[in-house]
Structure 1
Amino acid sequence: MPEGNQSFVTEFVLTGFPGLHPEYQGLASAVLFLVYLLILIGNASIIALFATDRGLHKPMYCIMLNLNACDILFSTTTLPKIITKYWFQSGKISFTACFIQMYFVHYLGSVNSFVLFIMALDRYLAICHPLKYPILIKNSTIIILSITAWVVAKAAPLMLVIRAYPLPYCASNTINHCYCDHIGITKLACTNRAPYGIPAFIAAMIVLLVPLAFIVFSYSSIILAVLKIANSQGRLKTLSTCSAQLIIITLYYLPRSFVYLSSIVGIKFSPDIRTVIIMLYSLFPPMVNPLIYCLRAKDMRESLTKRFKRNTVPQKAQVTAICN
């Protein structure tokens, strides 16, 4: 069928978790709502802590701030719609809104990947080139790199939307997913998907694998540098400076790489399992990242402890005054 203005579809329907029994839909929406709240509260708290404590205005925490913002935006882009589907049985999304959601899903995923690249670069220079680190990495440097990441990440998702939007959609309008993405949408087009799917796959691989290649290189170099330290206590102290970043990077890349590699080697998942896996690796890291910062980052722990003591001391004084 030739392309052109042949799109009879005016809206799409998100199935969410295709095999979910109706009696569990309320529970699913409650869990998703709780996850959304935890993501908002956790990441917003880290941003507020950074804004009010000048001691955290360091390159490493400036990088983390980008991840916090990205996590909040991604969850806000994807979760409210699927929550309302199960709460109000409203899985419909307009044609244009679906493409807008698709753009932000892929855009924020690209930003996340580039920010993790910057994070690996920061730790690589800090540990492998400590004398050059204060000269090369400053807050201003991180701000420039972060802005570059947010700007450059627009290119590939915009290309996906521009190429997919004009396709003829004249058959099914059901997307077997919790949100609109490129594969879910273009599968519904009444045309050969290869000219659109292959460039999209290549773009996804570039965005995913190029940062991942540097991340593997940087942390391999870090491990080699740490092994050269004679003192075992010194090795542990050096590794602790990048443990939080390494955990975050692992949570982001490992499940994604597993899904991509499984498709290459021929391992196929049912729509239910695939949707669950994608939602887990999309939402679990944003939910636990703030906890990782607080447990693994020394400055963050100290800042939280000071804030807690500052809030509890006046309360104790007030209670004492009332009792007297």
Structure 2
Amino acid sequence: MSITSSPGFDQHESLAFHHDPETGLRAFVAIHRKRDGRGCGGIRYRPYSSEQAAIDDVLRLSAAMTRKAVLAGVAAGGAKSCVLADPSRPKTPALLQAMGQVVHSYGGAYVCAPDVGIGTEDLAVIRSVTPHVVAVDHPAAPYTARGTFRGIEAVAEWKLGRDRLEGVRVAIQGAGNVGAQLARLLVAAGAIVTIADTDTAKADALASELGARSIDPTALLDAEADILAPCALGGVLTRASVERLRVRAVAGAANNQLADPDAGRALASRGIAFAPDFVISAGGLIAGEHELDGFDESAVHEHIDRIRTTVLHVLERAATQSITETEAAERMVAERMGTR
């Protein structure tokens, strides 16, 4: 098992393994940076092929949360937890309460939120044990979708020369909470939407609801569209998969869409614009931070809508400096944190 040699390691403040034999809880919690005394990030619950795979994931995700918070203007650093789901054992209230005890043991230095495999009902159980939880009363998905929608508007303006989304073709990967909310916003704006999900019945139902089109998930990366919006698990963009794309831009809410930096360079070499996920998917984090300080819906929306401007700044900087969009965004993070 390796930590410092993991591709996700970025001078993290801490990484801890928590085990509760009685409930079967096995979880890694990573704090990348604390800002204003805390790091924020979701609890991911999924099967992992190994503990090393979970370590790699939690390190990457927590570092991305710091970048997301800095560029979103949120007074927090990044953290994350990954629970190793056991397919032979159900996700029980007792296990969730045990995870709540883990969160509580950080004394507010780790504030948790939803992620893959952990929804609002799960968080409500966790909140029965610790107050260091957000997105129970204000679920994150609509806010994440709103920020992603604003980012897509920016990409359409920059890459397509479009000041409206009417007629813009968007292929969405993932029909879960965020993907579905994003699809609704896009259709309402007049975009032409294609949806794919490994749960084909879910994709078909959403497409039927919206008058959109659903396709086989294995065909989505080959679909002709203006914008690809990955809204499922990360790592979808590799050098090989980028070569298959028939789009002019990628802008979606999934975390860690680039499998490695080479994928970002492949996008740039093909002239495909990319909205870094840690910029465009910050809506849920923004809403969660507003919960900690007193929630006002209009203020939250105003804050989230600034994502459009940030995405434009990233695209402009990448073009001006002849670097990838991820490199441009990371330089902005370093400047704002005073590390360069």
Do the two structures share a fold, i.e. TM-score over 0.5?
no
Higher helix share: 1
Pick the structure with greater CA Rg: 1
TM-score, scaled to structure 2: 0.28
Higher strand share: 2
